Chains A and B, each alone.
Chain A
Amino acid sequence: MPVNSTDRVVRARVYERFVAGSRVVDPSSLGLDREETEDSLDRLAAEHRLVLDDERRVVMAHPFSGVDTGHTATIGDRTYWANCAWDALALLALLGDGVARCPNGIEWYVEDGVVSPAGFIHLLVPARHFWDDVVFT
């Protein structure tokens, strides 16, 4: 099911909402025709461009998360929810220097593109299976 130009606008609006600090992004928050937006979100989810819950709230628009996983990225006075440790770092890579935090208490600081302290991220799922169960991944 290919995406169309409306789907692209809807997807871009989803990202705009997350960047602006929204944590709940649903069809009513995107400022477009409700029915058209819901259809677009369904197509985008079917194409793995984002992940929805049963009420079409955006659960994942990588690297943003619409649920509190315990992984966060803080830039200035704004804290974003991330899907995992990788995505917390990715939010800093996308939006600017700050702090990535994991639910186990680990913190990584990024300043001028340098991550400290040095450490490692443990990935459990091979790349070709990332989308088999993307919430687990």
Chain B
Amino acid sequence: MVVPVQTMYELSKDWYRTRMDVDWEPPTPQQAEETLARHGLTGDFWRLT
């Protein structure tokens, strides 16, 4: 899968936004899919559920 670097950068801001917080919890597969979808990353390659 080939993804534009700007998209990966924007996804990273979203994906890692709370990662360093003490109370961080991993996203559920559903939540992670929603994050990916916000950046146009949908389809079988990105499926987590």
Contact = CB atoms under 8 A, between A and B. Distances in A.
A49 B48 CA distance: 17
Contact of A115 (B6, B24, B44, B48): B6
Nearest to A106: B5
Nearest to A92: B9
A9 interface: yes
A32 interface: no
Given A119-B4, A121-B2, A126-B45, A93 B22 contact: no
Given A8-B23, A9-B22, A128-B48, A93 B3 contact: no
Interface residues of A, number: 33
Nearest to A19: B20
B9 A62 contact: no
A126 B1 CA distance: 8
A86 B19 contact: no
Contact of B12 (A48, A89, A118): A89
A114 interface: yes
A127 B47 contact: yes
Nearest to A14: B20
Chain B contact residues (Cβ within 8 angstroms of A): what range?
20 to 34
Q: Which of B20, B36, B45, B46 gathers the greatest number of chain A CB atoms within 10 Å? A: B20
A94 interface: yes
B40 interface: no
22 contacts: A8-B24, A11-B24, A15-B20, A19-B20, A48-B26, A49-B26, A63-B19, A90-B15, A90-B16, A93-B9, A119-B4, A120-B2, A120-B3, A120-B4, A121-B2, A121-B5, A122-B1, A123-B1, A126-B46, A127-B36, A127-B47, A128-B47
Interface of B: 1-6, 8-10, 12-13, 15-16, 19-24, 26, 29, 32, 36, 44-48
